[in-house]
Amino acid sequence: MREDALLHRRVATVVGWSSLASLAVLAVLGLWVAPPDAVQRDAQRLMYLHVPAAWLAYLAFGVTALGSALYLWRRTRSPVWDRIAGASAEIGVVFTALTLVLGSLWGRPVWGIWWAWDARLVTTAVLFFLYIGYLALRRIPGPGRATRCAIAALIAFVDVPIVHFSVDWWRTLHQEGTVFNDELKAQIHGSMAFTLFWGVLAFTLVFVYLLDKRYRLEALEEGREERELEQAIAERVASGDAGPGESRPSPSESRPATPGRAERASSSTRERPGEAAMTDAGYVITGWVLTAVVLAGYWASIARRTRRARRTLPPGESPVPPGENPEP
């Protein structure tokens, strides 16, 4: 069996290291080189993560819509487009969530609140839940699953332009587009503009790298549930049912211990410290550390699920293309 991939393994390795290096450069530019904003001060440094994360969400959902449209078109219908759509949608969901969190961290010192029922915020949250539903729909097996998912992806993508143009259509707390505005005239210059564009480039490289990894996983997971069920049945048949002499734990033994009512009451009435005032630098550092944790955690999640999917392959079937070395 050949493991499908979008990029050759060596190319993927180059893209991976390039994205990591570009993120490191972005950290230096965003935290030290770019000057603080005249009005928002250091809190504005979250823009170099918030805007690229939103761009990556747009890009990911755009790729999902394109892959879905190509799958629905009979002349280009192929499982490859369905896999690309599913892989890209998951990446988009992750970065939409990151966009919302970074926006809250940025809005707290600037607006004085974590959340507002703002048109941009609400439509972005709707976008997040629309694609959560799309990913849930992909997990429902049955004939016509790919077609249903492709139609759902195209319907969900309608919200993307609504999110983008919400600042023009309604009165919002958000400012109008800094780069992509009605006049197509950038409102940012110098090292701040360079840092912002560098962030967009770095996140685009991250998207390409993650899409290749997630596509490999998507290809491996096809039929994984059926293989796991067959393995479980085979193991059950081989081991046989539990013998009559085997003892089973009593309900009191199997039930985990739970705290008593007095313990629960004392824990619920425990004093909580008040929310300490955080400086602009605190919000900025939190946002940058959170972004690093999300990127590393999502990459580790893909690697873990890939190893799990490979273990379900039948003996003798290699998931690695001939002439390529397996991943460590």
Q: Please state, in angstroms and rounded to a whole number, the distance separating the CA atoms of residues 121 and 226.
A: 40
Torsion of the alpha carbons at 259, 262, 264 and 265, rounded to the nearest 10: 180
Burial class (CB in 10 A: 0-12, 13-18, 19+), 174: middle
Residue identified by tokens 């993560």 is: 49
Quick check: is 176 in a domain? yes
**pLDDT of residue 316 exceeding 70:** no
Quick check: is 257 in a domain? no
Q: Please state, in angstroms and rounded to a whole number, the distance separating the CA atoms of residues 314 and 85.
A: 27
Quick check: is 109 in a domain? yes
The whole-angstrom distance between residue 117's C-alpha and the CA centroid of its chain comes to 23
Q: What angle do CA 253, 257, 262 make, to 5 degrees?
A: 145
The mean pLDDT value of the chain amounts to: 82
Q: What's the CATH code of the domain at 22?
A: 1.20.120
Higher pLDDT, 245 or 178: 178
Quick check: is 320 in a domain? no
* Tens digit of each residue's pLDDT (9 = 90 or more) over 115-164: 889 899 999 999 999 999 999 999 988 888 999 999 999 999 999 999 99
**Identity (one letter) of the amino acid at 92?**
G
Q: Any alpha helices (H) in the chain, and if so which ranges?
A: 9-28, 47-72, 79-111, 119-138, 145-157, 159-169, 190-221, 224-239, 251-254, 261-268, 280-311
Residue identified by tokens 């998912």 is: 149
Quote the domain boundaries for residue 296. 9-223+279-311
Higher pLDDT, 300 or 323: 300
| Sign of the alpha-carbon torsion through 218, 224, 226, 227 | positive
Quick check: is 111 in a domain? yes
Instruction: Report pTM.
Output: 0.79
CA distances from 109 to 105, 280, 286 (A): 8, 7, 13
For residue 150 the two structure tokens come to 């492709």
| Sign of the alpha-carbon torsion through 126, 131, 135, 141 | positive
Burial class (CB in 10 A: 0-12, 13-18, 19+), 78: exposed
Quick check: is 193 in a domain? yes
Quick check: is 258 in a domain? no
The answer for residues whose C-beta is within 8 angstroms of residue 241's C-beta and 6 or more apart is: none
Quick check: is 234 in a domain? no
Higher pLDDT, 310 or 177: 310
Whole-number pLDDT of residue 172: 79
Integer Rg of the chain from CA: 24
Q: How many separate domains does the chain show?
A: 1
**pLDDT of residue 326 exceeding 50:** no
| Three-state DSSP class for residue 280 | helix
